[in-house]
Chains A and B, each alone.
Chain A
């Protein structure tokens, strides 16, 4: 299991290598990437702010939850902070498992849970304005 909160650019390859096992017939990779437009606005860049100690703890809890619930081999989660331009990777989730279905399901569930519980926020900066994007989902109290 590998959890990382970093201001450095995210390269998925080391995370793939970290979770891969000889028993793993499947490695599912999700990348969250900054897109060029949102709600009809042309996005210039995003700024991610995190409560680092808590975010790391919550990402670890999500990873442990996923490991308990699915028969996967390993999982790695990395979230970037700071200023990200269009096309840059903000989130990496990689899951390895013997068979593909568990890898897909666990990876998707992990991404959903990260959005729910991780104290990480994004500010969208577009031409002529900026706003902290507050999601629909709210963290659950005492999610563990």
Chain B
């Protein structure tokens, strides 16, 4: 089945891509997908547990399984002005 991955902000810098169409196996979770992508794009950082995932523009847990045609994105902590004051 197919999935589309979108890369924003730091992920765009780390992969040099905005979007990637992938053939993925049924039942692959979003965190497994990120793990697989790290093999292909070694610059992708290990965010540990702080990385968030979205599928079809909604936040999902790390163990969320993908379905055919899903659009996936990875979300580091969102920009906040707070720590910069």
Residues on A facing B (Cβ under 8 Å) = 32, 38-39, 48-51, 53-54, 57, 115-123, 132-143
Contact = CB atoms under 8 A, between A and B. Distances in A.
Contacts of B12: 49
B82 A115 contact: yes
B22 to A, nearest CB: 18
Interface in B5-45: 6, 8-10, 12-13
B59 A51 contact: no
B54 A115 contact: no
B21 to A, nearest CB: 17
Contact of A51 (B6, B77, B81, B84): B6
Interface of B: 6, 8-10, 12-13, 50, 52, 54, 57-59, 61, 73, 75-84
A134 to B, nearest CB: 5
Q: Choose among B77, B79, B83 the residue with the greatest number of A CB atoms under 10 Å from its CB.
A: B79
Given A49-B9, A54-B57, A139-B59, A116 B78 contact: yes
6 nearest CB pairs, A to B: A135-B80, A121-B9, A54-B57, A115-B80, A132-B10, A49-B9
A53 B57 contact: yes
Contact of B84 (A39, A48, A57, A143): A39
Nearest to B57: A54
A122 B6 CA distance: 17
A137 to B, nearest CB: 5
27 contacts: A32-B81, A38-B84, A49-B8, A51-B6, A51-B8, A51-B54, A53-B57, A54-B73, A115-B78, A115-B79, A116-B78, A116-B80, A117-B78, A119-B73, A120-B79, A121-B9, A121-B76, A133-B79, A133-B84, A134-B76, A135-B80, A135-B81, A136-B77, A136-B83, A137-B77, A138-B50, A141-B52
Given A121-B9, A121-B10, A135 B79 contact: yes
A28 to B, nearest CB: 18
A132 B79 CA distance: 8
